[in-house]
Structures are given as structure tokens and as C-alpha cells.
Amino acid sequence: MKAPTILLCLGAALQVLQVNADVKLGVWTAGPNTAGLTAECIGMLNEALNCDGSLVWANSPNTFYTDEILSALCTTTCKDSLTSYVSRIQAACGSGRYDGGDGFSYLAAYKAELVLENFNIVCLLNSAGQLCNGLLGKLAGIDPNSQLSTAPPAVGLMCDACAISMVKTQLEMPLASNTDISRGFASITASCKTAVSVSPPKTTLQWVVSATTTTDTTRTTTASTTGTPGACLGKTYTIQSGDTCTSVSLSQRIGTTQLLAANNLRADCASFPQSGTVCIPSSATCEPYKVSFQNPRDACADLARAANATMLQLVAWNPELGTDCANINRQTAGYTVCLSPPGGSWSDPHPNSTASATTTSIDTIFTLSMTPIPTSFITTGIVAYPNGGSGD
């Protein structure tokens, strides 16, 4: 999947500039959205980085890159430059924030921190000094030029030291870490019979707050109780006559399990209200797909192929499916699953591809969603069915 270009841009100018080895991730200008930033802060944000130009597009932990790209990007010089850039923004901007235009206000260093965290994942090294991105891509049988599977993944890929280290690294980052990832990591390490020490992020900064109420918000989807719309971080939907949990989740573009969890409702839809409102968290909306087990191709690998994603990306977008997608058969027919990152922007990286849900299945390496606000991760135990049933 081709990595989206990260633009650190506010104001009229939307550019990505590169001058030799000096790379600017964007242009910041004074304007309504940057009213909370001083001139010194804006000047600091516009400083160049000593990195290869690939920094502005080779930034997705969900993509495997060629050895040539990784060699050019993953240098000590670039990492030091990025780390210093974030620190200097924090020093120059302090608690200054900009309006993201999405209802939230962000610390000035937010996007720079996000770029740094992505860099640290893409350029992660194992104990032998090998770049994990390239190593895992080869073990997963993924062609870095097309992002398509060319060979079956290696046995035990999920327990590879690089795969585990990727999750550990994310847990130690201030933006990427969250409780869902922590639970998922515990499940993975238990399955792999390994113990890994994790150092939580030292920072306690509130990177994202509400732009309208200045109420601090977290990067996790907070479940809201039906009848308390003030707790909803998204929109409220008024239930219509004939609505069901499956019809609402499909029409409102949210996974059925996530809809139920966000509103503290039973996993089997038995308690779905017939009136009132439900919360549709903005961090959980996605490209929906209605599962029908009358279609023999409604299996994880085939759905992932239809989404032009890896199977484990699909699992990351739908954590109720379990770490190895073993829970797909426990999903109730008619439930909606996500075929894109919840809360994130997504476009088909191969728009002319003939891939469909009837093509050869794909299985590949564990990947992480780095969308900043939504939390989507592989985990188990989120949905508990009564007596171990299927939720029918």
C-alpha cells in the first residue's frame, strides 16, 4: 500500500519542498488556524531537515519498502535531525496549539512527532543491525514495489523478533501507544511464549484537545453510554423505526462490534435500543462491508484482498476478529466489518487492479495502524459472547 504523503501545512500554501539533503515537510503560514502559534514557533516549524527526500512519502509502517529506499531514508543523520526538530519545536512553541480544522486542537509539535514515530517504526533495527521493514517484507513474501504477496509467509512470522519489536516500539511512543495495543501485545507475547519489557512513554503532554471546549481528549475511542450524548466523540444518530444494530452500523459506516462497544451494548445486539440515540465515534468510522456467510468468500484473507490490504491489516481494523482472524466464524451474519482504517483516510492503492473478493487469499506480516487519533489494533477478548456462543 503506497504511503500517503505527510504534509505539515496550514494556510494557503500546500507544498512539499526538497533542496538537496535539506527537506521541508511542509509550509506553515500565519493565519486563523495558526493563531495560537508565535512567529518564532512558525519559523521553527518551517526549518529544514537533514534527511533524504523519501522522508515525505516513505513514512507508513504498513508498507514494505525496497532496500534502496530504506538505505537512503534510514540514516543516523536523519534520525538525529528529526529528533532535534521535535525538541526545538517544543522549546520554541511551548504549549502553543494549532486548529486542525477537524474539531480538535493540536500541540505545535504534534505532526513532527508523528513523522518521527513513523520513521522509528519504518527504520527499526533488530539486534543484528538489520532493518526490520525489509526483513519482515521478505519473510512475509511481499513485493515492496507492488505491495502484493509473491510467496507464502514464513512460519512463525508473528513471533519474529522484529514483529514483536515493532509493537514494543509503538508502545513506547507518546502518540502511538494506547491501552488497546498494550492488551494486544500481551496476547501476542503470551501466544509466542516470550516476555518483553516495555518502557511507557515518559511524556504526559495532552497532544490533542477539543478545539471548541478545550476538554482534553485521548487517542482511544471512549465508549459512551446511550442517553449521555455529551460523552460522544463523534456524532449522535437518532434511531429510526425498523433500525437494527446491523442496519445502523452499515448506514453509519462503522463496524457493528465497534458501534456496540461505543454505546455499552451487548455484543449479540439483544439490547440494541428501539428509540433514542446512539454514538457514532468519528475515530471508528470506515468503509463498511456487510458479512454474509452465504458467500463462501467472506473469509478474512479474501476480504483483505478485496480491500487491497493485508489480512493482518484487516484484523488491525477489526480487532474483534482476533490476532490470527480465528474469530471470523464467530461473527454474526449481517454484521459490518471495516475494509479501511477506522477514523482514517484511505484510498485504493491499486485503482486499476482486478483484485476482488474471489481472488487468491493473502496472508502477510503483522502491521500497525499509525493513524494518530483512532486506535485500531490486533487484540482479543474485547467482545465476550455469553457462554462462549457465536453471538447469534
pLDDT above 70 as % of the chain: 70
- CA 256, 328, 300, 189 dihedral sign is positive
If you average pLDDT over residues 109-137, what whole number do you get?
A: 93
Average confidence (pLDDT) over 338-353: 60
Q: Which residue has the higher pLDDT, 44 or 369?
A: 44
Using one digit for the tens of pLDDT, what is the confidence trace for 293-330? 555 455 777 787 778 877 767 877 887 776 667 677 66
- pLDDT tens profile 246-302: 999 999 999 998 898 888 787 778 778 988 999 998 888 899 888 865 554 557 777
CA quadruple 68, 368, 128, 153: dihedral positive or negative?
negative
Q: What is the pTM of this model?
A: 0.55
pLDDT score, position 119:
95
Distance of CA 342 to the CA centre of its chain: 8
Secondary structure (3-state) at 142: strand
Q: For position 9, what pLDDT does the model report?
A: 30
Give every strand in the sheet of 104-107, ordered side by side.
97-99, 104-107, 208-210
The pLDDT of residue 358 is above 80: no
What pLDDT sits at residue 65? 92
- Rounded to whole angstroms, the Cα distance separating 169 from 163 reads 10
168-203 residue pLDDT tens: 998 898 888 777 677 778 878 888 888 888 888 876
Task: Determine the straight-line distance between the first and last CA of the chain, rounded to whole angstroms.
Answer: 35
**pLDDT tops 50 at residue 133:** yes
pLDDT at 115 over 80: yes
pLDDT in tens, 141-176: 888 888 788 888 888 888 899 989 988 998 898 888
DSSP 232-278: -SEEEEEPPTT--HHHHHHHTTB-HHHHHHHTT--TTSTT--SSSEE
What is the pLDDT of the chain when averaged over all its residues? 73
